[in-house]
Amino acid sequence: MEQFNAFLVLLDSNLSGSWWFPALLIGTGIFFTIYLGFPQFKYFNSALKIVSGKTKNSESDGETTGFQALTTAMSGAVGTGNIGGVALAIWTGGPAAIFWMWITAIFGMTTKYVEVTLGHKYRTTLNDGSISGGPMYYIEQGLNMKWVAILFAFLMMITAIGSGNMPQINNIALVMNTEFAVPKLFTGLFLGALLWIIIIGGIKRIASVASRIIPIMGLIYFGGALIILAENYQNIIPSFNAIFAQVFTGSAAVGGFLGASFAMSLKYGVARGLYSNEAGQGSSPIAHASSKNKSIDQGVVSILEPFIDTIVVCSVTALVILSSGVWTQKFDTTFSKTDMIILEGIYSDEKNVDGEYIYPDHINELTKYVQSIDSNVNEFSGSIDIKDGKILSENITVIHSRSIAEDITISNSIEDSLFSGKLDVKNGKISEQVSINGKSLVSSAELTAKAFSQGILGQYGGKLVAIALLLFAFSTSITWCYYGDRSTAYIFGEKGVVWYRNFYVLCFVLAAVIDTTVVWNIAYVVVALVSIPNLIAMFVLRKEMKSLSDNFDIK
């Protein structure tokens, strides 16, 4: 698993982790924003009027209303990215990463407008009478490149599993286990069965479920968030300052957080922004294609999607985490081997009474190390002595979740008893099967749950996050199966859909019990791969989109 994770990290470093992918993603949004005359601002009020039914629009053939199509796409976008993804962005890129999430969303509103309009225009009716649309159709018909359309559809099939499926149930299972002590496998099996019952009903059942879940989960989540923000109102302005102050320099080390470079803040802000609102990814057009609205009207409606998803929901999550201060605090947690490394030498992040680091050179070197910058830090190789679960060996430091770990206890994985003996370490990694617990920073949905657990909500805050995450993430998994099965139908016909759905549910169950970090790294890679052909196709069809946009009657 560690070798597979290393391979994923290598792939990601050459995709979303390199300079060209954020440039392509944001650049496409900037280009269309200027080329189409800032439609995300010009048509924003029109989008509200259309989706609320205040304007009467000529309808076309379809299976869902404009509102149902929007909520279906929203249920696919509003998921772990809004709860766990925001926390992950702060954990890796610091507060400055949130700024880049916002930038991605602002220009993503235009990107979404373009891809949804084109996806709706080039949709088709299949032999069974169902509507199917999305980038594969405008790539084939608009560009006359069938092989690229097949490639996109195939990548979307993988993306649906690696992005819309596995990270969702993985986070649900983690939080349900942490907050309610529900076994991860049970969560996977129970929700897997429920998922199957819903997805076999097709887009009409999915849209019906989504249009009910979205308002409920919004009320639950925002209610709890407002309580936390009201309690920490004095920290809201400092939280905004933290986001803006180090946008172009990266986030400095503070508390248990070891700092992040500008490149890391940019990378993870853009990556989490894309993962959250899906603009340019080519997924949402598949849901919007089922709408009875005219193509350009549904494109205008889709402008609301990144705004609600990232500008509103993700910002609320970020402010709760930053204002509560939990992103720099260490908590008792079970260590993931993927996120753990043993270093040579003793490093300390202790502070004096004035809040200054006692050993600032330690922090500087570790900060460079976690940022993959040349440093004097070396990974430990050799053996370490353990007695009654405690490390006896001196001159080593354990890093977990990008922080110096404390109060470490090592147990036998099988017998669940304290370990005594020697453990072999190679290049900082322990090879034996042991369970390791201690204090460190936490990330993903666990960090958000900690933020909601501070103050008046107490332990109920974490449970609120667990329930919200369950609704957010499960609805995402439902919608993404539809994206995958429409892509399957494009390549293999309707006969292949049932096989895809079976495989989708199987992966859903398995992802409940595998390593969180590996799951997220899979998501990073496949999201980047599927976005590239879609963004290129959108640019090639720019003149057609310009004509459609210019003929839109502002409501």
Q: What is the per-residue pLDDT across 410-439, written as a single tens digit (0 to 9) for each?
A: 999 776 789 999 999 999 999 888 999 999
**Percent of the chain surpassing pLDDT 70:** 96
Segment 338-362 mean pLDDT: 90
Confidence of residue 57 (pLDDT cuts 50, 70, 90): low
Looking at mean pLDDT, say which of 16-25, 398-407, 472-481 comes out highest: 398-407
315: tokens are 């910002």
Segment 73-89 mean pLDDT: 79
501: tokens are 């759905």
**What residues have CB less than 8 Å from 232, skipping those under 6 apart?**
323, 324, 454, 455
Q: Kindly report each contact of residues 412-419 with a partner whose C-beta sits within 8 Å and lies 24 or more positions away, as own/partner.
A: 418/388, 418/389, 419/386, 419/389
Q: Give the Cβ contact number of residue 267 at 10 Å.
A: 26
At 408, which helix (H) or strand (E)? strand 406-412
Distance (Å, whole) CA 380 – CA 295: 59
Segment 284-300 mean pLDDT: 90
Confidence of residue 181 (pLDDT cuts 50, 70, 90): confident
- What pLDDT is recorded for position 505? 94
Query: How many CA atoms does the CB half-sphere of 55 hold within 13 Å?
Result: 19
Cα dist from 452 to 5, 86, 233, 329, whole Å: 30, 14, 14, 14
The 10 Å CB-count burial string (b at 16+, else e) for 365-392 is: bbbbbbbeeeeebeebeeebebeebebe
Distance (Å, whole) CA 133 – CA 148: 15
Nearest CA to 475 among 65, 79, 67?
79
**Mean pLDDT over all residues of the chain?**
87
- What pLDDT is recorded for position 202? 76
Confidence of residue 185 (pLDDT cuts 50, 70, 90): very high
Confidence of residue 506 (pLDDT cuts 50, 70, 90): very high
User: Would you give the distance in Å from CA 267 to the centre of its chain?
Assistant: 13
Strands 340-344 and 406-412 turn out to be: unpaired
- What pLDDT is recorded for position 394? 87
328 has pLDDT over 70: yes
Give the chain's length: 555
211 has pLDDT over 90: no
Cα dist from 519 to 425, 448, 507, whole Å: 25, 18, 11
Segment 336-344 mean pLDDT: 90
Q: What is the pLDDT of residues 219-274, one digit of tens each?
A: 888 888 999 999 999 999 999 999 998 898 888 888 888 888 888 888 778 877 77
Report helix, strand or coil for 332. Answer: strand
Confidence of residue 444 (pLDDT cuts 50, 70, 90): confident
190: tokens are 């129970």
DSSP-derived letter for residue 328 is G
Nearest CA to 298 among 510, 521, 62?
62
CB of 296 within 8 A of CB of 117?
yes
Q: Model's pTM, two decimal places?
A: 0.84
CB of 405 within 8 A of CB of 439?
yes
Confidence of residue 487 (pLDDT cuts 50, 70, 90): very high
- What pLDDT is recorded for position 386? 94
CB of 191 within 8 A of CB of 508?
yes
Nearest CA to 158 among 282, 309, 69, 288?
282
Segment 349-358 mean pLDDT: 88
**What residues have CB less than 8 Å from 10, skipping those under 6 apart?**
none
CB of 74 within 8 A of CB of 214?
yes
262: tokens are 């500008």
* Residue the block writes with tokens 């407008």: 113
Q: What is the pLDDT of residues 104-151, one digit of tens each?
A: 899 999 999 999 999 999 998 878 777 889 999 999 998 899 999 999
- What pLDDT is recorded for position 1? 65
**Better pLDDT: 524 or 345:** 345
Domain with CATH 1.20.1740 in the chain: 2-329+459-550
In the chain the first and final C-alpha atoms are separated, in Å, by 54
Distance (Å, whole) CA 190 – CA 197: 11
User: Would you give the distance in Å from CA 27 to the centre of its chain?
Assistant: 21
Nearest CA to 1 among 524, 525, 522?
522
Distance (Å, whole) CA 308 – CA 278: 12
**Percent of the chain surpassing pLDDT 90:** 46
Distance (Å, whole) CA 505 – CA 485: 12
461: tokens are 């805050």
> What string of H, E and C letters represents the secondary structure of 67-132?
HHHHHHHHHHHCCHHHHHHHHHHHHHHCCHHHHHHHHHHHHHHHHHHHHHHHHHHCCEECCCCCEE
The CATH architecture of the domain made up of 2-329+459-550 is Up-down Bundle (1.20)
- What pLDDT is recorded for position 517? 66
Report helix, strand or coil for 256. Answer: coil
290: tokens are 């089922």
